[in-house]
């Protein structure tokens, strides 16, 4: 059940929600761990921090900003080199976004990825940036998920009240950010986090497929009057 009124704005996480980047991220993580540690940390560390900015993820593992920067550079070099080979599209994403726009719903991206990587991922999955009314990345000078600041920034730029907005994401950080921002939270079960892990965060809606947004969310056919 929705806890708010009709939804006129839907914001999306990127990795694991709009694009299937799990293999790309995991391979880049493994490459970075092998390059910087004699004994790489266990992979459950990756999943526990997945969905946060790279600097936050690596900051849990090393002590200095210089070490974090070196790991970021290693990760990005591998990630960009292997990007087109490993990234995938989720089914029905483009068609569903186009339908949402046709119904008068404003859509946006709120991601912990930097702007360069965001643009690359959207292009690789044939998602035109002009589809989105707002894109907020980790380059913005605000705290990042699970802090609600990036979700609130997107709402502010759209002049959209949280009561008529939703945030769709695949991670626990997405659910926490959405709850704190006061929007309807939608758990994307097609990402790497399990239904059990996401259910603990008490999302308002849990969906098995992207196109379920159209049937489950009783969306309006036209935006509210100005």
The answer to whether residues 187 and 17 touch, using CB atoms and an 8 Å cutoff, is no
Beta-carbon contacts of residue 175 (< 8 Å; ≥ 6 apart): 169, 185, 187, 198, 201, 202, 203
Q: Considering 13, 15, 20, 174, which one is annotated as catalytic? A: 13
Q: Rounded to an integer, what distance in angstroms lies between the CA atom of residue 41 and that of residue 47?
A: 12
Q: Does the active-site annotation cover 13?
A: yes
Nearest alpha carbon to residue 223 among 135, 149, 161: 161
Residue 108: strand pairing partners: 11, 134
Q: Which two tokens stand for residue 54?
A: 């790279």
Residue positions annotated with a catalytic role: 13
């Amino acid at each position: 059940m929705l806890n708010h009124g009709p939804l006129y704005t839907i914001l999306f996480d990127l990795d694991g929600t709009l694009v299937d980047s799990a293999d790309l991220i995991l391979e880049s993580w493994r490459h970075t761990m092998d390059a910087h540690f004699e004994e790489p940390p266990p992979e459950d560390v990756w999943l526990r921090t997945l969905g946060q900015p790279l600097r936050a993820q690596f900051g849990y593992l090393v002590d200095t900003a210089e070490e974090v920067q070196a790991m970021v550079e290693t990760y990005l070099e591998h990630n960009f080199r292997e990007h087109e080979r490993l990234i995938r599209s989720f089914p029905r994403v483009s068609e569903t976004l186009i339908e949402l726009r046709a119904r008068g719903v404003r859509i946006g991206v709120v991601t912990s990825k930097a702007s360069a990587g965001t643009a690359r991922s959207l292009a690789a999955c044939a998602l035109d940036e002009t589809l989105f009314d707002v894109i907020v990345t980790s380059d913005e000078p605000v705290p990042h998920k699970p802090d609600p600041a990036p979700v609130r920034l997107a709402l502010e730029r759209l002049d959209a009240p949280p009561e008529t907005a939703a945030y769709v994401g695949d991670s626990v950080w997405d659910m926490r950010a959405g709850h704190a921002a006061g929007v309807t939270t939608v758990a994307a079960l097609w990402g790497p986090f399990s239904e059990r892990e996401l259910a603990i965060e008490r999302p308002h809606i849990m969906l098995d497929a992207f196109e379920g947004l159209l049937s489950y969310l009783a969306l309006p056919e036209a935006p509210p009057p100005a």
